[in-house]
């Protein structure tokens, strides 16, 4: 791998010099993705896909623990079906891919490749829901969707992306709202406790709602560069879709009712989020919970007798407490250090002849490069403990970055000044609730409304823009 | 659920009366699928999808244990990419779905929705393979594909279906052939040891190869009605794709070489296969390994004090050894029996007041309806044992059906006579290797070549059709 070696140890662009280029370097050099000849569509390579598999496994467990079942809808939506809910079609029609031919024959009706599947779920619900006993249905599916974006970036905005979309239907509005909130909490729990990424929970403003929703909730994260990233959304639909799609049920009093719906989703974008939350100038830094390899064992002076055997013994022992890999390739130690740092492996274990003699090894943390000498017999205890410490350190560092870059402001001038002084970040400022002011804040200061946080603070009684009475504290930011 | 009750206990069509209608009744009434407004595309409902999830989990483990990694390719293939390998495009172009517009704008080049992904993998390999050190790549992906079929049936032939497609690339032909064989063995192992479905391993004839393959291997199963079903395929490509897509590597002697490739896949068709292998006039019969629920607990006289508590206690206890569900709905016992039989749950546990008093319960096997009184303290031992027995009984019954319906023939007249006398089945007969004879056997007797079994028998020295020297014993059958 001589040629590759050289490529791998070449430094990537520094984050401070060019964050966007740093990001592109990392996704390529950590072998997460490769481009294809279809613009905006990428190959998710084994290392990138393994991260997604861990995300799926954890989230799927959380969904099932909250009573959800997986299903699979078709990928195609007939044009007439997409058009049934007015707001929804207006939101999505401009960015769908249209299938017009099957083999050499034109289709009678064109089909779009699903950009999201509300319409398909609604058609299905109309078929299977008749009585209050059929409710609720708590469904989810893991699929890919297509949105014909103009500008694309790996994981962050691609024409095809992988996601899960939960779709639930309930007898009452209250139940549906509870579900919408519950799933936002599941997402926040996942981001914080598995991805080590702090998030702000809140409600989207009217102008920023999902097409067809009564209310959209979101979790918002702040990336290392101070830009905001919407990490997950949960929508409450009321009975709007049910009415548009003629979904009825007979309640306990034998009266016809429209049920109430929700949908919620997270995507492979979360991979982009962890790159930009935790990464550094040496590459990826992965939160242990989703790292394909949590501990890489590097035998030092591996040609010396007994080294490889000992390393293999440790690999087999530690496989019981972590996802372990041994790198006994013939690459140099320096190359291996760089390689596994680039790939963000949370812990590195070095073991050479002298260590073996002393009955110890060296554990190196990826996040802060701290080295600890550990007795071999303590490894089963120390490794899980250290993985936990890495998680906590990542979370705290990300939280510090967010706190340092969150600016409470009461005037437009203050917003501009704070951002100029400190660079991008979250702005907290009061808002009257008028779209006009929302737009004006964005035009003037560059930060748009990210959400109305559930945790409200009363920074002032006045809208930061018009000075009229304030209704909400809004979190503002530049969005990915 | 009064209205539904009635629907569920209505008898389904008998297998003997109309096997095709029986199949359709089962997929609908066991709630495996629901039709949609897109012809040939179906909703896989929670119960059907859960079966697929178990298949995925088991197969994915087998793929990973044999060194394979998951990736994800785009769903779109540019027309020019599809056209690079001549045989491949001829085989697939007539049945692909074409995307011609993104939003309101026509695309510069139309894209097909992948019918299979050899071309995408080849494009990727050309990018990432340079030296012998980059080989092999052992990749797999779990996705859906689209083939614009004219006649469709749930699971068996649909326009969109779920599958896994393995794609591997190797330095030598030998390695690639070994891989092709290995994966066919993995499929056979899976079908026999998890789906309880015996299969015949063999090679496809030239006329029946995958478009672009040097050789196609397949596993063939015989359904209850005597029709054959191809349950999985594994293709050896030689270096044909590598040449068409300019994939090169530098070998250890610093010489440019074309690598050798394989692909292999199984699909949601396997769900159709287990329905038609094990099902009966009461509905689905699921092999325990992929049954979403392996044991359903039915509390009898559940309003009596202590019954529900005891049933719940057993559920919690047995959850450690099997996938258990308790049905404490207010439906009648008769309705519950019918419902869980329809859904093919391998074991039913009945427990009522008298059983509790006696410290026992009744276990009922779905496959043969045999009832066994079991002491409550023995359940942890008996349940896994009985699940194993169900698996073995299903396998043996399916094997018997196949043996009973396999006819060795040495003349065309014999084929016709045996099939007329016994109904559909596998025919074993010798073949000269000429496509003309292969076609003529099908035209005359109705059975086409399924495969050239690896386990050859010498039934005669002469081709069953032309009487010239025979080259192979072929397995013939009517195919799903």
pLDDT of residue A1: 36
B428 by DSSP, 3-state: which? strand
Burial class (CB in 10 A: 0-12, 13-18, 19+), A264: buried
Distances (CA, A) of A90 to A95, A230, A435, B73, B81: 10, 22, 19, 30, 33
Please, which residues have CB within 8 angstroms of residue A17's CB and are 6 or more apart in sequence?
none
Nearest beta carbon to residue B74 from set A42, A53, A93: A42
Task: State pLDDT tens for residues B77-128.
Answer: 999 999 998 888 998 989 999 999 999 999 999 999 999 999 999 999 999 9
Chain B residue with minimum CA distance to A126: B36
| Residue carrying structure tokens 């614009």 | B148
Task: State pLDDT tens for residues A115-157.
Answer: 999 999 999 999 999 999 999 999 999 999 999 999 999 999 9
Mean pLDDT to the nearest integer, B338-343: 97
Chain A residue with minimum CA distance to B95: A103
Helix A379-404 and helix A269-278: axis angle, to 10°?
Answer: 90
Task: State pLDDT tens for residues A213-229.
Answer: 999 999 999 999 999 99
Nearest to B226 by CA among B398, B397, B405: B405
Tell whether the model's pLDDT for residue B193 goes beyond 60.
yes
B411: number of CA atoms within 13 Å, CB side?
Answer: 3
Say yes or no for a CB contact (<8 Å) between A34 and B133.
Answer: no
**Chain A residues close to B103, C-beta within 8 Å:** 93-96, 148
Nearest beta carbon to residue B37 from set A78, A98, A128: A78
Number of other CB atoms surrounding residue B137 within 10 Å: 20
Mean pLDDT to the nearest integer, A163-179: 98
pLDDT of residue A10: 65
Say yes or no for a CB contact (<8 Å) between B103 and A148.
Answer: yes
pLDDT of residue B4: 43
Report cis status (omega within 30 of 0) of the bond before B136: yes
Nearest beta carbon to residue A1 from set B4, B131, B143: B131
CA–CA min distance B254, chain A (Å) = 13
Chain A residue with minimum CA distance to B73: A43
CA–CA min distance B63, chain A (Å) = 13
Q: What tokens does A248 get?
A: 């009825």
Q: What tokens does A166 get?
A: 């939960």
**Chain A residues close to B120, C-beta within 8 Å:** 36, 43
Q: How confident is the model at residue A205 (pLDDT cuts 50, 70, 90)?
A: very high
Task: State pLDDT tens for residues B398-429.
Answer: 999 999 999 999 999 999 999 999 999 999 99
Report cis status (omega within 30 of 0) of the bond before A136: yes
Nearest to B407 by CA among B470, B468, B444, B459: B459
Cα–Cα distance measured from residue A154 to residue A26, given in angstroms and rounded to the nearest whole number: 11
Q: Which of A4-8, A219-223, A436-440, B455-459 has the lowest mean pLDDT?
A: A4-8
CA-based end-to-end distance of chain B? 36
Across chain B, what does the average pLDDT equal? 96
CA–CA min distance B102, chain A (Å) = 4
pLDDT of residue A7: 45
Distances (CA, A) of B169 to A4, B136, B238, B239, B252: 19, 5, 10, 9, 17
Say yes or no for a CB contact (<8 Å) between A75 and B146.
Answer: yes
Q: What tokens does B342 get?
A: 């329809």
Burial class (CB in 10 A: 0-12, 13-18, 19+), A423: exposed
Tell whether the model's pLDDT for residue B6 goes beyond 80.
no
Tell whether the model's pLDDT for residue A174 goes beyond 80.
yes
Nearest beta carbon to residue B78 from set A38, A71, A134: A38
Q: How confident is the model at residue A382 (pLDDT cuts 50, 70, 90)?
A: very high
* Category of A43 on φ-ψ map: left (φ > 0), alpha (ψ -120 to 50) or beta: beta
The DSSP line for A95-117 is G-EEEEEETTEEEEEEEEEPSS-
Chain A residue with minimum CA distance to B53: A70
Q: How confident is the model at residue B2 (pLDDT cuts 50, 70, 90)?
A: very low
Mean pLDDT to the nearest integer, A100-123: 96
Share of chain A above pLDDT 70, in %: 98
**Chain B residues close to A52, C-beta within 8 Å:** 72
pLDDT of residue A4: 43
Nearest to A15 by CA among A265, A306, A225, A327: A225
Q: In terms of residues, how long is chain A?
A: 480
Mean pLDDT to the nearest integer, B421-440: 98
Mean pLDDT to the nearest integer, B130-144: 97
Beta strand residue intervals within B273-432, DSSP E: 295-299, 324-326, 347-351, 360-365, 371-375, 406-408, 426-431
Record the pTM.
0.96
Q: Which of A89-93, B216-220, B447-451 has the lowest mean pLDDT?
A: A89-93
**Chain B residues close to A325, C-beta within 8 Å:** none
| Residue carrying structure tokens 């099908």 | B442
Nearest beta carbon to residue A104 from set B38, B81, B94: B94
Interface mutation vs chain B, best among A7, A32, A33, A38, most B CBs within 10 Å: A38
Nearest beta carbon to residue A123 from set B36, B49, B77: B36
Task: State pLDDT tens for residues A295-329.
Answer: 999 999 999 999 999 999 999 999 999 999 999 99
CA–CA min distance A144, chain B (Å) = 9
Distances (CA, A) of A282 to A10, A13, A339, A367, A371: 10, 9, 9, 10, 17
Helices (runs of H) and strands (runs of E) counted in chain A: 15, 23
CA–CA min distance A16, chain B (Å) = 29
Nearest beta carbon to residue A36 from set B45, B120, B131: B120
Cα–Cα distance measured from residue A51 to residue A290, given in angstroms and rounded to the nearest whole number: 6
Q: What tokens does A259 get?
A: 């049920």
Chain A residue with minimum CA distance to B94: A103
Strands across the sheet containing B160-170: B69-70, B137-146, B160-170, B260-267, B228-238, B215-222, B200-203, B448-453, B472-477, B426-431, B406-408
pLDDT of residue B10: 65
Share of chain B above pLDDT 90, in %: 95
Task: State pLDDT tens for residues A39-52.
Answer: 899 999 999 999 99
Across chain A, what does the average pLDDT equal? 96
Chain B residue with minimum CA distance to A42: B74
Task: State pLDDT tens for residues B276-303.
Answer: 999 999 999 999 999 999 999 999 999 9
**Chain A residues close to B42, C-beta within 8 Å:** 74
> What are residue B440's phi and psi, to 5 degrees?
-70, -40
pLDDT of residue A39: 87
pLDDT of residue A395: 98
CA B42, B45, B51, B53 torsion-angle sign? positive
| Residue carrying structure tokens 């009825």 | A248
């Amino acid at each position: 791998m001589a040629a590759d070696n050289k490529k791998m140890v070449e430094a990537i662009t520094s984050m401070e010099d060019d964050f966007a280029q740093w990001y592109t370097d990392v996704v390529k050099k950590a072998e997460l993705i490769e481009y294809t000849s279809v613009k905006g569509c990428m190959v998710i390579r084994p290392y990138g896909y393994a991260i997604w598999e861990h995300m799926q496994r954890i989230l799927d467990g959380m969904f099932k623990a909250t009573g959800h079942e997986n299903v699979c809808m078709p990928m195609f939506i007939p044009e007439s079906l997409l058009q049934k809910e007015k707001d929804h079609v207006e939101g999505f029609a401009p960015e769908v891919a249209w299938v017009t031919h099957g083999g050499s024959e034109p289709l009678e009706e064109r089909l779009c490749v699903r950009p999201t599947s509300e319409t398909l779920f609604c058609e299905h619900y109309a078929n299977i829901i008749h009585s209050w006993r059929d409710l609720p249905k708590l469904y989810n599916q893991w699929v890919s969707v297509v949105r014909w974006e103009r500008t694309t970036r790996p994981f962050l905005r691609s024409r095809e992306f992988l996601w899960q979309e939960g779709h639930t239907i309930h007898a009452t509005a209250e139940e549906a709202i509870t579900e919408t909130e519950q799933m936002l909490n599941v997402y926040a729990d996942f981001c914080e406790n598995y991805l080590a990424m702090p998030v702000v929970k809140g409600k989207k403003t009217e102008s920023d709602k999902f097409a067809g929703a009564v209310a959209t909730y979101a979790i918002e994260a702040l990336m290392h560069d101070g830009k905001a990233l919407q990490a997950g959304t949960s929508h409450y639909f009321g009975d709007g879709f049910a009415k548009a799609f003629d979904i009825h049920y007979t309640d306990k009093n034998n009266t016809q009712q429209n049920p109430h719906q929700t949908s919620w989703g997270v995507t492979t974008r979360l991979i982009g989020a962890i790159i930009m939350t935790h990464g550094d100038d040496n590459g990826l830094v992965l939160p242990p919970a989703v790292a394909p390899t949590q501990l890489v064992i590097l035998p030092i002076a591996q040609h010396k007798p007994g080294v490889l055997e000992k390393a293999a013994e440790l690999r087999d022992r530690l496989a019981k407490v972590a996802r372990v890999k041994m790198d006994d390739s013939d690459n140099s130690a320096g190359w291996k250090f760089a390689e596994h740092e680039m790939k963000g492996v949370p812990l590195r274990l070095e073991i050479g002849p002298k260590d073996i003699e002393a009955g110890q090894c060296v554990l190196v943390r990826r996040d802060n490069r701290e080295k600890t000498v550990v007795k071999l017999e303590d490894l089963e205890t120390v490794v899980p403990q250290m993985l936990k410490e890495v998680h906590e350190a990542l979370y705290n560092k990300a939280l510090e970055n967010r706190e340092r870059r969150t600016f409470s402001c009461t005037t437009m001038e203050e917003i501009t000044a704070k951002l100029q002084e400190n660079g991008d970040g979250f702005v907290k400022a009061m808002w009257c609730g008028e779209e006009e002011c929302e737009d004006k804040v964005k035009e003037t200061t560059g930060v748009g409304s990210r959400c109305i946080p559930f945790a409200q603070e009363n920074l002032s009684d006045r809208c930061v823009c018009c000075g009229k009475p304030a209704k909400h504290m809004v979190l503002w930011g530049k969005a990915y």
